[in-house]
């Protein structure tokens, strides 16, 4: 990955924390970050441009609680038709810029019967059900060929986040995230199958980015917003509107949780 030419205000800015803002969290970059500069994806050679409405499609650089952060305001999904290596290019770019810790957020359907829409879930581990892997193909410039995945989501930092959330009275689940390609939602039979596999939540993102970040030796934290009960868990059809509505309803709590987690990193 060749670094893009950065605007003048960013040439001396060395981000240490990377942030992927999922559904409903795009406002975090505007509301919580003291912005130093922005870089639209369209200005980066070889970069995909997000096709999802409401995803702005830019990097936002700035300060959060004394930390230098780079946020993806708008992310890429496999179901948009991008190749795995395209959609994980931002992680390689963040790594080249010096990012050591990556915080990935997403919206997910709750499989665990104890979860209710509006809950947050710290990713304890994941199941890659995408049928492919972002590391397939030519050996890229950095990283190990066969990276270890026995602790994708940093154990010490998870512990600190759990303790902090408890001290703040923020309810936080911790569970296994299973990634499917989407874009169709799952069938009830698939959700029952995923439950027997040990999944607590299901979504259409995060796993490719987390795999590449671990390949590059970054510390990773994942947080899901449980936006709906997964198919067959509650009656009635699933809609993107329900997902967006829940994500929007709890976005300020999600932002507080994320900011608190970053401050611990
Ligand atoms: N399934 C897959 N992805 C999702 C869901 C779901 O129920 N909710 C939010 N993202």
Pocket mutation for ligand 1, best pick of 23, 201, 203, 224 (most atoms within 8 Å of C-beta): 203
- Closest ligand 1 atom number to CA of residue 228: 8
Cβ–ligand 1 contact at 247 (below 6 Å): no
Predicted local distance difference test score (pLDDT) of residue 235: 79
Q: Which of 43, 174, 240, 242 is catalytic?
A: 240
Predicted local distance difference test score (pLDDT) of residue 45: 84
Ligand 1 centre to CA of 237 (Å) is 12
Q: Which of 101, 128, 224, 228 is catalytic?
A: 228
How far separated are the first and last CA of the chain, in Å rounded?
A: 26
Predicted local distance difference test score (pLDDT) of residue 7: 87
Measuring from atom 5 of ligand 1, which residue has the nearest CA?
Answer: 109
> pLDDT tens track of the chain, all 265 residues?
778 888 889 999 999 999 999 888 989 999 999 999 999 998 888 887 656 665 558 999 999 999 999 999 988 999 999 999 999 999 999 999 999 999 999 999 999 999 999 999 999 999 999 999 999 987 666 778 899 999 999 999 999 999 999 999 999 999 999 999 999 999 999 999 999 999 999 999 999 999 999 999 999 999 999 999 999 998 789 999 999 999 999 999 999 999 999 999 9
Question: Where do the domains of the chain lie, and which CATH numbers do they carry?
Answer: 8-264 (3.40.50.1580)
Predicted local distance difference test score (pLDDT) of residue 140: 66
Predicted local distance difference test score (pLDDT) of residue 106: 96
Cβ–ligand 1 contact at 109 (below 6 Å): yes
Cβ–ligand 1 contact at 227 (below 6 Å): yes
The pTM assigned to this predicted structure is 0.95
Predicted local distance difference test score (pLDDT) of residue 236: 87
Question: In the annotation, is 80 catalytic?
Answer: yes
Question: In the annotation, is 159 catalytic?
Answer: no
Question: In the annotation, is 77 catalytic?
Answer: yes
């Amino acid at each position: 990955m060749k670094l893009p030419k950065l605007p003048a205000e960013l040439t001396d800015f060395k981000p240490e924390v990377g942030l992927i803002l999922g559904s409903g969290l795009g406002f975090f970059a505007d509301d919580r970050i003291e912005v130093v500069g922005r870089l639209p994806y369209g200005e980066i050679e070889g970069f995909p441009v997000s096709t999802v409405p409401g995803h702005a499609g830019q990097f936002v650089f700035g300060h959060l609680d004394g930390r230098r952060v780079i946020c993806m305001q708008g992310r890429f999904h496999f179901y948009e038709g991008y190749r795995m290596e395209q959609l994980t290019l931002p992680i390689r770019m963040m790594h080249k810029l010096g990012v050591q810790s990556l915080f990935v957020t997403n919206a997910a359907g709750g499989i665990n019967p104890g979860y209710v829409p509006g809950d947050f879930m710290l990713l304890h581990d994941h199941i890659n059900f995408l049928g492919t892997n972002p590391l397939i193909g030519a050996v890229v410039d950095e990283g190990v060929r066969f990276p270890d995945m026995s602790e994708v989501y940093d154990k010490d930092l998870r512990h600190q986040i759990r303790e902090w959330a408890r001290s703040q009275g923020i309810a936080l689940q911790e569970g296994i995230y299973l990634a499917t390609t989407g874009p169709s939602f799952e069938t009830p039979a698939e959700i029952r199958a995923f439950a027997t596999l040990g999944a607590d939540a299901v979504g259409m993102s995060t796993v490719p980015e987390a795999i590449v970040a671990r390949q590059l030796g970054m510390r990773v934290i994942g947080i899901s917003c449980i936006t709906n009960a997964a198919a067959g868990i509650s009656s009635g059809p699933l809609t993107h509107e329900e997902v967006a509505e829940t994500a929007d309803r709890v976005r300020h709590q999600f932002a507080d949780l994320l900011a608190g987690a970053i401050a611990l990193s």
